[in-house]
Copies of this chain bind each other. A is one copy, B any other.
């Protein structure tokens, strides 16, 4: 399979437990890092509960608006696992038991296999199954929608499959400078850099309770030389002694 070329992506994180304070959402962060490493801009993430209509509405909207959509959660065998049917609904098709997945389930469960397990073999009509040497359990992709599991340990194994199968038009370059200045005292300087380097995205992140630095300033772009120019000008204009060159490495 040739990696899909994509500029933009969205994430749909599914599960009542994420909105009721029972479970901390853990999949957005590694997904964002994976897409970033492939040069794809993750533009939006939405968290919704286990509601088929609501999921279908979001899948329809996000899969139209962005090049790729990644869903997480709702793919197990029980009544609250409704993602596969919702994705099918979003594309106006039905979800059917896929023979490859049925066979995988029969092999896994052996004599304890029951018809109830078959919910885990449902895929929207027309979906593709991706199997790799590392991740032998099939990953389901419906057009531009990757349907990933919610359990963080399993989700992360799927990111290797994502990494191998999608790529952006160019890579992102990022640099960070840790300064000892209060964010408010950096404002004028940052405005100057932002104006002079329109192709570089400048971020400013204060840290309140860290003795090592006060504000982390990040520089992002798709050209190393342009990012470097912005960083060099920032450092030149920074009051002397204001920069901390060492990366505290724990933000």
User: Which A residues fall within an 8 A CB radius of B?
Assistant: 11, 16-25, 28-30, 32-37, 41-50, 76-81, 109, 112, 114, 116-117, 119-120, 151, 153-154, 172, 174, 182-188, 190-191, 194, 201-209, 218, 220, 251
Contact = CB atoms under 8 A, between A and B. Distances in A.
A116 B22 contact: no
B183 A76 contact: yes
A34 B17 CA distance: 14
Given A28-B47, A78-B187, 19 more contacts: A18-B28, A18-B45, A19-B32, A19-B42, A19-B43, A20-B36, A21-B29, A21-B36, A21-B37, A25-B29, A44-B46, A78-B186, A78-B190, A78-B204, A80-B204, A109-B184, A116-B184, A116-B187, A154-B208
B151 A208 contact: yes
A80 B217 CA distance: 11
Contact of A77 (B25, B30, B187): B187
B79 A202 contact: yes
Contacts of A186: 78
A202 B50 CA distance: 11
30 contacts: A16-B201, A16-B203, A17-B205, A18-B28, A19-B41, A19-B44, A20-B42, A21-B29, A21-B37, A22-B218, A25-B25, A43-B49, A44-B46, A45-B47, A47-B47, A76-B204, A77-B183, A77-B184, A78-B186, A78-B190, A78-B204, A79-B191, A80-B202, A116-B184, A116-B187, A117-B187, A119-B187, A151-B208, A153-B209, A154-B208
Nearest to A207: B151
A153 B208 contact: yes
Contacts of A182: 112
B117 A184 contact: yes
Given A190-B78, A204-B80, A24 B29 contact: yes
A47 B71 CA distance: 14
A227 B24 CA distance: 24
